[in-house]
Amino acid sequence: MPAQPRNAAVTREERRAALREARVVLVSACLLGQACRYDGQSKGSDRVRQALEGKEVVPLCPETGAGLGTPRPAVVLRGGTGEAVLAGHAQAVERESGQDQTAAFRRGAELALEAARRFGATVALLKERSPSCGTQGTYVGEQLVQGRGVTAARLHAAGILTVSDEDL
């Protein structure tokens, strides 16, 4: 039985408190205004910027970091959420064409973990519902389901507490 991640089953209030206390935070780059989303847009947010005031911020987009371009075809998970993708039981595929992007999604998750470790981030503030960054919900096929995207699952398994923009 693997060790229980220390961020298992924390409440929204506990996640918010952990973010307040964190000195270094890994952040989905689109939440900081980078136009790195699949549709070429950003999701810059004043609430995010306020929550990060005074902290060291490590911006990262796992998908573009893994070499996927912007804009790029929308991707959904197939067969399970991020944990299942990491375990090899599910895939990340382009919604329209079905092209398999699992390797890129796994690479992006490893990049995020490497960045968190290198800079000492104990908390990650991620964009909700993304197939990479979703912390509480993500798309499996056309269904929004409870669960994590691939990067959020990798960070969670490594003991990094994941908070989303919707927790703020």
Contacting residues toward ligand SF4, per CB under 6 A: 28-30, 36-37, 61-63, 127, 130, 132-133
Distance CA 96, CA 164 (A): 27
Sheet of strand 143-146, all strands in order from the earlier edge strand to the far edge: 91-94, 75-78, 137-140, 143-146
Q: How far is the CB of 140 from ligand SF4 (least distance, A)?
A: 16
Q: Which sign, positive or negative, has the C-alpha torsion 89, 4, 149, 115?
A: negative
Of 141, 123, 143, nearest to 152 (Cα)?
A: 123
Is it true that the peptide bond before 62 is cis, omega within 30 degrees of 0?
no
**Shortest reach from residue 82's CB to ligand SF4, in Å:** 12
Q: Which is nearer to ligand SF4, 7 or 28 (CB)?
A: 28
For helices 102-119 and 150-157, give the axis angle rounded to 10 degrees.
40
Q: In the complex, what is the shortest distance from the CB of residue 61 to ligand SF4, in angstroms, rounded to a whole number?
A: 3
- What pairs with residue 144 in β-bridges? 139
In the three-class reduction of DSSP (H, G, I as helix; E, B as strand; rest coil), residue 52 is classed as coil
Beta-carbon contacts of 54 under 8 Å, excluding residues fewer than 6 positions away, are: none
Q: Which is nearer to ligand SF4, 9 or 96 (CB)?
A: 96
If the CB atoms of residues 2 and 90 are measured against ligand SF4, the closer one turns out to be 90
Q: How far is the CB of 45 from ligand SF4 (least distance, A)?
A: 11
At its nearest, how many Å lie between ligand SF4 and the CB of residue 114? Answer: 15
Give the residue with the Cβ less far from ligand SF4, 37 or 78.
Answer: 37
Q: Which CB sits closer to ligand SF4, 29 or 123?
A: 29
